[in-house]
Amino acid sequence: MRLLVTGGCGFIGTNFIYQVLEAHPDWSVVNLDKLTYAGNRANLLPLEEANEASGGRYTFVQGDIADAKLVPALLAEHKVDAVVNFAAESHVDRSITDPAPFVTTNVLGAQNLLWSARTAGVERFVHISTDEVYGTLAPDESAFTEKTPLAPNSPYSASKASADLLCRAFFKTYAYPVVVTRCSNNYGPWQFPEKLIPLMAKLARAGQPLPVYGDGLHVRDWIHVSDHCRGVELALTKGRPGAVYNFGGNAELPNIDVVRAILAAMDRPETLVRHVKDRPGHDRRYAMDFTLAREELGFEPLVDFDRGIRDTLAWYEANQPWMESIIDGSYRDGSYRDFMDTWYSERT
């Protein structure tokens, strides 16, 4: 199978590319990534080097999914069989500061991919979404199912919900074989350190205060990125056209408990925790019912949180040069460092 994977230099895309190329020796991947602040080409340099040495199965192209000339050209040149769309602006805090890039990439970019893939006759399209499109749950409410109404509460989640509805429209209007996946909070290797787990690990390692929004009792369902990537692969190979599939990790935890687990694993005191002003529109709880994915795809999370968090922290510790290049901005132009310096100073 010849895949166009978009956003493959990001956290989940990087893991997905490694995972599918290892599992499927006859598959090839074209990775289209704009290389915004969260896209790191170095994540996949071993594949580029292997490709040069052996005429292998991985190709990197820097570009924008909203480019109406580039995307059709890539689909035609590489005779793509399927598109897997990970490309997205994904940081909620950034969407609150400036929603415009989220609409441009997450909505208009998705529309361009869908239109280009359908026009080119690409046989399969998997769009990666998020549990945040469902809004928020009360403590005693049942977990989100695929039939839960969409009720996004941030500019980020609204942009993702818009793309989901475009996918539905392409299936209903054109009978285009689109599959949408919605997943809970991911963690694992190569996660950009503006997200909770790598950020708190970075601060704990340095002995700095760990800012936790509000009372810290916002609940998330945590899934290891390897489980999510396996779910996406199942959706690609077995998913029913027009279907939406939820993926979760069976690990609902308040944010403060996740932070405490990080501190305990790193032998740091809980006195480093600093409760800070909550962000606007902060959803209280997410929980995913993935019964449909279990029944139709055979999906089941394999990595429990206790093991997963230990492995993740060990990966960050063993890959400090990678982490430091992200923190100091040397892998890019410093834009990440500037944003995080401002974010951190406002909350500590």
Domain residue ranges of the chain, discontinuous segments joined by +: 2-192+222-251+280-304
Q: Is 344 a catalytic residue?
A: no
Task: Say if residue 294 is exposed, middle or buried (CB neighbours under 10 Å; 0-12, 13-18, 19+).
Answer: middle
pLDDT digits (tens, 9 = 90+) for 74-132: 999 999 999 999 999 988 888 999 999 999 999 999 999 999 999 999 999 999 999 99
Rounded distance, CA 112 to CA 266, Å?
44
Q: Is 252 a catalytic residue?
A: no
**Confidence (pLDDT) at 48:** 86
Radius of gyration of the chain (CA): 19
User: Of the CATH numbers 3.40.50.2300, 3.40.50.720, 3.40.50.740, 3.40.50.300, which one belongs to the domain with range 2-192+222-251+280-304?
Assistant: 3.40.50.720
Average pLDDT over residues 44-54: 78
> How far from chain centre, in Å, is Cα 80?
22
**Side-chain half-sphere CA neighbours of 235 within 13 A:** 31
Q: Give the phi and the psi of residue 178 in degrees, each rounded to 5.
A: -95, 140
More confident residue, 59 or 347: 59
Residue type, 54: S
SS3 89: coil
Q: Which of 33, 64, 89, 132 is catalytic?
A: 132
Q: For the chain, first and last CA: distance in Å? A: 49
pLDDT score of 344 more than 50: no
Q: Which residue has the tokens 């475009």?
A: 166
Who's near 281: CB < 8 A, 6+ residues apart? 96, 153, 154
**Confidence (pLDDT) at 29:** 97
Q: Which pairs from 202-209 meet CB under 8 Å and 24+ separation?
A: 202/316, 202/323, 202/327, 203/272, 204/262, 204/263, 204/266, 204/268, 204/272, 205/266, 205/317, 207/268, 207/272, 208/272, 208/348, 209/272, 209/273, 209/274, 209/348
Average confidence score pLDDT of the chain: 92
Give the rounded percent of residues in the chain with a pLDDT score beyond 70.
93
Are the C-beta atoms of 65 and 113 separated by less than 8 Å?
Answer: yes
Rounded distance, CA 148 to CA 182, Å?
12
Q: Is 304 a catalytic residue?
A: no
Q: Which of 64, 131, 194, 221 is catalytic?
A: 131
Q: Which of 134, 156, 213, 286 is catalytic?
A: 156
